[in-house]
Chain A
Amino acid sequence: MKEKTVTIIEAKDVRKVYPLGKVEVEAVKGVSFSIEKGDFISIAGPSGSGKSTILNMIGLIDTPTSGEVYIEGKPISGLSDKQLTTLRHETIGFIFQSFNLIPVLNVYENVEFPLLLGKEKMGKGERKDWIDFLIAEVGLDQWRNHRSNELSGGQRQRVAIARALVGKPAIVMADEPTANLDSQNGEQILELMKKINQDMNTTFIFSTHDAKIVGMADHVIRLRDGLVTENYKTDENIAPVENN
């Protein structure tokens, strides 16, 4: 049984407004929730519900219009771009819908890339061993020297997972990670993510509109029109949380 002792992310009345010409669009209308360490959580909802917006804000690549986001208990408002970037680098790994691999790098180099940013925490040998382990873990050992344009969609997403984990982040954010994959590959990716979640106690937060994939999550936050409609943990059978 996983130990879920710490609240790793907390959102308090977070809003996001986008200007569209003279009109303002409120993508997120004031949501509050908390995520604990080791959670395998799905942020679900139809298109336009605000899933990606919330993911971007708690992933520190976008800033809320109002409200506060806490990462490991620290508020992020008032942090400079440099501080946000550093926090993102040290705490969060990303898996994108379109994989977003760097096209000029091969598999090994793509996975290694985050380790080249910021301060070096591992020795060269230790780094190589860790990257080799991750590549093997995602089943791409024979493809390590291939570039992304030589890989299938499923293989690219596996590279993205390995890259997201290489910095040993506390949190991995995955924005519609299976949207560009067929159902078989999508399930395999989710299974892989779940395995890593259980083995490494890494918190996984992924957005999806696929019900089948929602069903694989331990904790679900449902959104509609920028508001939380449900917030529950599947293994504790807790009643859905009413939106405030």
Chain B
Amino acid sequence: MWEHKAKSLIIGSLLVLGVIVIIVGNAMIDSASDGLRKGYIDSFTGNVMVSGKSEEPFSIFGIESMDMTGDAEIPTIPEFQQVLDRVKADPRVKSVTSMATTYGLLAADIGEDPIADQSTDPENTIFALVFGVDPETYFKTFPAIQITEGRLPNPGEQAVLITKEMREKLVKKYKHEFKIGDKILINGFMGGMRIREVTLVGIYSRGEMSGKSPFILTDIDTVRVLAGLTMSEDENVVLEEGQTSLLSSENPDDIFSDDAFAGDMIDSPVVSSKKVKYDNAANLLGDTSKREQLNATNAGAWHFMLISLNNDLDTAGFIADMNAWAAGENREIRAADWKGASGTAGKMSDFIRIVFIIAILIIAVVVVIIIMNTLVISVIERTAEIGTMRALGAQKGFVRQMFLIETLTQTVFFGILGAVLATLAITVLNAFHIPLANEFAQLLLGGKFMHLVPSFGSFIGTILAVFLVGWLAHLYPVSIALKIQPVKAMQSE
């Protein structure tokens, strides 16, 4: 190895660089995973999410399917109170809160149409992801969320809490200071157009998970109204035959003929001198109590139950127990961890890791080929030496073992050197507190400063991977050397 310094240096440099890339890269990804996990658990999802079941994928951030019809909806939790009682009874639970999600566009003027403005004036369209929460339990479950100005909503109050950045957008659009107590309109478009006027009661922050995120917190009834979570959702409405007959007809004449409304239509107006009072007029329409009942918001409608556990390590067990209980009682609910709760956003670090691993594998193949070629040259230069050894009585296994030990000594030596340099690089990077200017990077790495998390597992795994690379790379060159007869090898001297 020392005799052939140039080749050893080529191989060594490749290995050291490769090891540094793998260890630092893994540290970044581990940091991202850790940051994301902590960020989502502490600020959005808790350890466990319980929700209804749906064929369409969804998360606490809304529907994630490609359904463009707008028909997909987040299911509510059926028999919510019984589920809540079951959760609260579990000693592993530290706290639990409930939430519903919808989308909306913010406005300050009832006359404007923010939905139409999306295409004509997108910059001034203020999109919001609306979380309808129970303030008392929500802020207890997510202590990372702080009220920086104002207060919590009072029970039953139609209220909203927005971020500082959201307020700045409103100020920029409407050119006036939005103070605590001002009214804001939320235009909902999930399952129909609805507008809700709410009172701005506070400004909140999720710490490092804030930034330009469009999340606003409202009272639960506001979301129920905007999302159309009415009593009819839970009702099995049974129509009589006369009421369904027109529905089954495909002939427009059936619907629009004079006979269709025979007996129900007034053919000619009759003028009456009798004054009609509103209450009398209302009675003409018949009993609408059922309709009113069905159109009322469902006071028990929640999309999600977010649970914080006493010990993070209990997460998997709790989820398994919850899902088993639901299956045993035929309840259409599911429990999931923070990744399941956050959907695509939470799987970001997994995706990045997969891309990184694929890149590393491609690099590893290239490195194996380069090392292999370097070793082939080395073997060819040493064929006389190999032939001499064979002539003196060295078996093929001895020669193979000799090259293997040489290669592995190189790979392990340079692998460990690379690992030490990588650890040093990580320590230096962390010490410099490099700020992350990009908000995506801040979200990904769980903070405003770069902080890499080296792991012992990554260290050992990388050394083993380098070991494997060396072993693979030596196979072909040695097989070439051993095929040469000792006499031919000596003739090449």
Chain B: minimal CB distance from A152 (Å):
18
Q: Which of B355-363, B383-391, B455-463 contacts A (4 or more CB under 8 A)?
A: B383-391
Q: Find B392's partner among A56, A62, A82, A89 (CB 8 Å cutoff).
A: A89
Q: With A102-B385, A103-B385 in contact, is A114–B487 under 8 Å at CB? A: no
The size bracket of the interface on B is 10 to 19
Among A59, A86, A88, A163, chain B packs the most CB atoms within 10 A around the CB of A88
Closest Cβ of chain B: how far from A224's Cβ, in Å? 22
Residues of A within 8 A of B395 (CB): 82, 85-86, 117
B137: Cβ under 8 A from any A Cβ: no
B148 within 8 Å of A (CB atoms):
no
Give 1 or 0 for each of B469-487: 1 = CB within 8 Å of chain A CB. 0000000000000000111
CB-CB under 8 A from A82, the residues of chain B are 395-396
Nearest 5 A/B pairs, CB to CB: A89-B393, A100-B388, A61-B486, A62-B487, A117-B393
Give Cα distance in the complex from A103 to B393, angstroms: 18
Residue of A nearest to B385 (CB): A102
Q: A103 touching B398 by the CB < 8 A rule? A: no
Inter-chain contact B388/A117, CB cutoff 8 Å: no
How distant is A150 from chain B, measured CB to nearest CB, in Å? 14
A62/B393 in contact, CB under 8 A: no
Would you give the shortest CB distance from A123 to chain B, in whole angstroms?
A: 20
Say how far A136's CB is from chain B's closest CB, in angstroms: 22
CB–CB A104/B3 < 8 A: yes
Give the residues from 138 to 161 in chain A that come closer than 8 angstroms, CB to CB, to chain B. none
The contact string, 1 if C-beta is below 8 Å from chain B, for chain A 103-129, is 110000000011001100000000000
Complex CA distance for A102 and B399, rounded to whole angstroms:
13
CA distance A165 to B396 in the complex (A): 23
Asked whether any CB of chain B lies closer than 8 Å to the CB of A96, the reply is yes
Residue A94 is within 8 A (CB to CB) of chain B in the complex: yes
What is the minimal beta-carbon distance from A6 to any residue of chain B, in angstroms? 22
When C-beta atoms are compared, the residue in chain A nearest to B393 turns out to be: A89
A61 and B385 contacting across the interface, CB-CB below 8 Å:
no
B interface residues, Cβ below 8 angstroms from A: 2-3, 384-385, 388-396, 398, 485-487, 490, 493
Please state if B384 and A85 are interface contacts (CB–CB under 8 Å).
no
Footprint of B on A, CB under 8 Å? Answer: 56, 59, 61-62, 81-82, 85-86, 88-90, 94, 96, 98, 100, 102-104, 113-114, 117-118, 163, 167
CA distance A61 to B490 in the complex (A): 10
Is A96 a contact partner of B485 (Cβ separation < 8 A)? Answer: no
Q: Which residues of A contact B493 (CB under 8 A)?
A: 96, 98, 100
- Verify A100–B393 contact, CB threshold 8 A: no
- Nearest CB to that of A114 among chain B residues? B392
Chain A residues in 8 Å Cβ range of B3: 103-104
* Residues A85 and B390 in contact, CB atoms below 8 Å apart: yes
Q: Is the CB of A81 within 8 A of B384?
A: no
Q: Which residues of A contact B398 (CB under 8 A)?
A: 117
Q: Is the CB of A100 within 8 A of B384?
A: yes
Contacts of B385 in A (CB 8 A): 100, 102-103
Q: Give Cα distance in the complex from A118 to B388, angstroms.
A: 15
> Do residues A117 and B485 form an inter-chain contact, with CB atoms below 8 A?
no
Given A104-B3, A117-B398: A94 and B487 within 8 A (CB)?
Answer: no
Known: A100-B388, A103-B3. A88 touches B393 (CB 8 A): yes
Contacts of A56 in B (CB 8 A): 487
Given contacts A100-B384, A100-B493, contact A61 B393 (CB under 8 A): no
User: Which A residues lie within 8 Å of B388 (CB)?
Assistant: 96, 100, 102
* Given A100-B388, A100-B490, 12 further pairs, Cβ under 8 A: A59-B391, A61-B391, A62-B487, A85-B395, A88-B391, A89-B392, A94-B392, A96-B388, A96-B493, A100-B391, A103-B3, A117-B389
Distance A61 CA – B392 CA, assembled complex (angstroms): 10
Q: Select A86's contact among B393, B487, B490, beta carbons within 8 Å.
A: B393
| Cβ A113 vs Cβ B485 within 8 A | no
Q: How far is the CB of B129 from chain A (nearest CB, A)?
A: 69
Interface centre among A59, A100, A163, A167 (most CB of B within 10 A): A100
Contact A118 B393 (CB under 8 A): yes
Task: Compute how far the CA of A3 lies from the CA of B438 in the bound complex, rounded to whole angstroms.
Answer: 93
Q: Which residues on the B side are within 8 Å of A90 (C-beta)?
A: 393
Contacts of B396 in A (CB 8 A): 81-82, 85
Nearest-Cβ distance from residue A69 to partner chain B, whole angstroms: 14
On chain B, the residues within 8 Å of A167 by CB distance are 393
Residues of A within 8 A of B487 (CB): 56, 61-62
Q: Which chain B residues lie closer than 8 Å to A102 at the CB level? A: 385, 388-389
Closest B residue by C-beta to A166: B392
Q: List 23 A-B contacts (CB under 8 A).
A: A59-B391, A61-B485, A61-B486, A61-B487, A62-B485, A62-B487, A81-B396, A85-B394, A85-B396, A86-B395, A88-B392, A88-B393, A89-B393, A94-B392, A100-B385, A100-B388, A102-B385, A103-B385, A104-B2, A114-B392, A114-B393, A117-B393, A167-B393
Residues A113 and B490 in contact in the complex (CB < 8 Å), given A61-B485, A103-B385: no
User: CA A117 – CA B396 in complex, angstroms?
Assistant: 11
Which residue of chain A has the shortest Cβ distance to B2 in the bound complex? A104
Give complex CA distance A56, B390 in Å. 13
Distance in angstroms between the alpha carbons of A96 and B486 in the assembled complex: 12
Bound: A56/B394 CA distance, A: 16
The residue of chain A having its C-beta at the shortest distance from the C-beta of B396 within the complex is A81
Question: B478 CB to closest chain A CB, in angstroms?
Answer: 15
Q: Which residues of A contact B2 (CB under 8 A)?
A: 104
Smallest CB–CB gap between A170 and chain B, Å?
14
* CB of B239 to closest CB in A, whole Å: 91
Find chain B residues with CB under 8 A from A94 CB: 391-392
Q: Determine how close the nearest CB of chain A comes to the CB of B394; give it in whole angstroms.
A: 5
B431 nearest CB across to chain A (Å)? 43
How many angstroms between the C-alpha atoms of A53 and B314 in the bound complex? 78
CB distance from B409 to the nearest CB of A (A): 14
Alpha-carbon distance A47/B388, docked complex (angstroms): 23
Cα distance A114–B389 in the bound complex, in angstroms: 8
Q: Which chain B positions have C-beta within 8 A of A113?
A: 389, 392
